Structure 1
Amino acid sequence: MTSDDRKPERPVFDPALDMEGMPPAMPHYNPYLWSGGMQEEAEEGTTAHAGETKPEDVPVATEEQLVEALREVYDPEIPVNIYDLGLIYDLKIEGNGNTNVTMTLTAPACPVAGQMPGEVAQKVASVEGTGEVTVVLTWEPPWDKDRMSEDAKLALGIF
């Protein structure tokens, strides 16, 4: 009998099969995993600005272009982009290319609450045809998983 023929003494851990056929636990928000403890809640109305006046000879960016840019921004705790997570509540493009975004986060004490609006503003402002960008953080209505796209729910195993 060779060492390859022996059965392992203990079964190999397979999280997909553990817990009597239950799927593995879903990622969840845990403020204690970030920055050593609980974060202060970001204030309603936290605002970030980016971009500059759009040149008149450049066509205004389309909503589809901006949505694609937003899909490049990810919540650091959840492997799904912020648009498909349903964190973007409103996206308005004015005739001169200036853009206003209203967004939320999964929780008010999110460790990136102070940084995420700025990152979103920069990403939207990077799209050609976009002028000045304003991103406002809101907590009303509170985010919940029902705001997620079907693709996001599928990616996270939420049915």
Structure 2
Amino acid sequence: MRFCRGTVLGRSAAGMAVLLALGACYEEDDQTLPSAAPGESVAAESTHWLEIDDSRSPETFLSAESGLPAQTLAPLLGALSAHYRESPRMIANRVLQLWQEYPDTPLERIMADLVPARDAPEESLGPVAQQYRVLRAGGAGHADAVAAAMGQRE
């Protein structure tokens, strides 16, 4: 950031004024943002998302991120999409986020366990996923977090 101290210019020549003005300016490092080496991210980790303008199908995206075959993920995504209000793209983003945060549970299990009973009313996956995250962060295991997030008691 560049700062200039107030300079008093007398009736000196224009050249002298320029020298005085330049002499009163200095550079100061901006300490408000952490610095990162070129090519290095400031964030520790980044979550990959299937952007709205991405031409890949949600199954292909999940397959690329997880290493699982798209053919395995397609029926699970279809079952989730049949119940939740979000688009398949957003459902893919949400389940990927859960799996990245809690990789101890396989992605296909997270997806299968989030499929509600056939007679369950349509709802949003967002609140279910958020409650699951809160419960897992609080120490609950996968099965207990899913059951509580989906309103089931075992």
Is TM (by shorter chain) over 0.5? no
Greater share of strand residues, 1 or 2? 1
Query: TM-score band, normalised by the shorter chain?
Result: under 0.3
Q: TM-score with structure 2 length normalisation?
A: 0.27
Instruction: Tell me: higher relative CO, structure 1 or 2? Use CA pairs within 8 A at least 6 residues apart.
Output: 1
Q: TM-score with structure 1 length normalisation?
A: 0.27
Structure number with greater Rg is 2
